[in-house]
Structure 1
């Protein structure tokens, strides 16, 4: 398999696709392409990017090609077994899939106003009403998952799985922008960031020398 991703400091969707590949346990080639550099338009017009119209991440597995991080999760779950990515209990799995899909399609204010930048930590600033609403909903989801299915584990459904992969970039945003979250959430975020896969990604982000100025600004109100 070959996974094409963007800059590790900034590309939240790439992080999800990369974590999914790591979680699968299947060996893969990692290809990092600098986003928005002088060759970006030409590069994204190449054959490897054609299926996704130039978006990352994009996973090639022989003749099979998968783009979009949630689709990559499901493709790899089919390949290695559903239990690697989703809870075994039917009710838990239903909730986990719903949460992953909501993260995929919602929380627009949080994503728009607080782009991922793993290399920065900004001083606290009052978040917008939209971001507060997004965080409130997220805390509700996390609390429900932890209370019903977390058990003695550190993650939302006990073991690290697809839901934690989908929320991982949000965890980095909360730290980067010093956003207010519930006390229980602080422990969960710390567990996500301490996961060996995340530590590998963060180390890679710190080693990058690319700087994209539009992502190097504090939150936009």
Structure 2
């Protein structure tokens, strides 16, 4: 079996680690996990692992790949049979576009609603600047679900886009973000997706007291 290693940060707080891990699951690539807290004391180790000091970082057959979209494209190239993108050309272009959008944007949403998989807030004051990001996320979801029929964004099986938006579904649940029934159902679908459920179990098992993390939310 090919040896592959995925360097991660906290499963409770690191949205990018979650995305990279889900992408490996989508591809069917078995990885050994290496958990490194992204704080000052571990910065030297992270520099040795990845020049960007960011996680996730995948090492596989001599290749070193960091950045979630780079990991997605690398895995799709190696495992085209995994169906990480939709088969249809137009749907595939759509999937790439929204995956790129969530990768590069939504800064206010990230800062206002940081990922935390251990808590559920019944009421949480959401920064008004995050509202346009929330509205845009919902618009993306509703367009995809209406166009491709659900329950995932591009039909009956998850794609790269679902891996990229998975942390956002958990933010919506953590902070009880008001959303449409269609969006709420999608959040449930992602939460019940077997790899996501596995990650959630691992996050709940992490120590309650953790060093302050400087993760890329």
TM-score norm. by structure 2 comes to 0.91
Point out where structure 1 has 5 or more consecutive residues left out of the alignment. Answer: 216-221
Asked if 1:48 corresponds to 2:49, the answer is yes
Counterpart-to-counterpart distance in 2, 1:82 and 1:129: 43
For 1:157, the equivalent position in structure 2 comes to 154
* Residue 200 of structure 1, CA deviation: 0.7
* Residue 206 of structure 1, CA deviation: 0.8
Counterpart-to-counterpart distance in 2, 1:137 and 1:205: 28
For 2:18, the equivalent position in structure 1 comes to 15
Counterpart-to-counterpart distance in 2, 1:35 and 1:171: 23
Counterpart-to-counterpart distance in 2, 1:196 and 1:41: 32
Q: Indicate if the aligned counterparts of 2:26 and 2:82 stay in contact, CA closer than 8 A.
A: no
* Residue 32 of structure 1, CA deviation: 1.2
Match of 2:33 among 12, 27, 30: 30
Match of 1:39 among 38, 41, 59: 41
4+ residue runs over 6 A deviation: none
Point out where structure 2 has 5 or more consecutive residues left out of the alignment. Answer: none
RMSD of aligned residue pairs (Cα, Å): 1.7
Size of the aligned set, in residue pairs, is 209
For 1:197, the equivalent position in structure 2 comes to 195
* Residue 98 of structure 1, CA deviation: 0.6
* Residue 170 of structure 1, CA deviation: 0.5
For 1:5, the equivalent position in structure 2 comes to 8
Counterpart-to-counterpart distance in 1, 2:93 and 2:82: 13
Q: Indicate if the aligned counterparts of 2:6 and 2:57 stay in contact, CA closer than 8 A.
A: yes
- What are the residue-to-residue correspondences of 1:1-221 with 2, within 5 Å? 1-36=4-39, 39-45=41-47, 47-49=48-50, 51=51, 53-81=52-80, 84-149=83-148, 151=149, 153-158=150-155, 159-209=157-207, 210-212=209-211
* Residue 83 of structure 1, CA deviation: 5.6
* Residue 30 of structure 1, CA deviation: 1.0
* Residue 14 of structure 1, CA deviation: 0.5
* Residue 214 of structure 1, CA deviation: 7.0
TM-score norm. by structure 1 comes to 0.89
Counterpart-to-counterpart distance in 1, 2:213 and 2:68: 23
* Residue 197 of structure 1, CA deviation: 0.2
Q: What per-residue deviation string (whole Å, max 9, x for no partner) do you get for residues 180-202 of structure 1?
A: 11111010000101111001101
For 1:219, the equivalent position in structure 2 comes to none
Counterpart-to-counterpart distance in 2, 1:202 and 1:179: 19
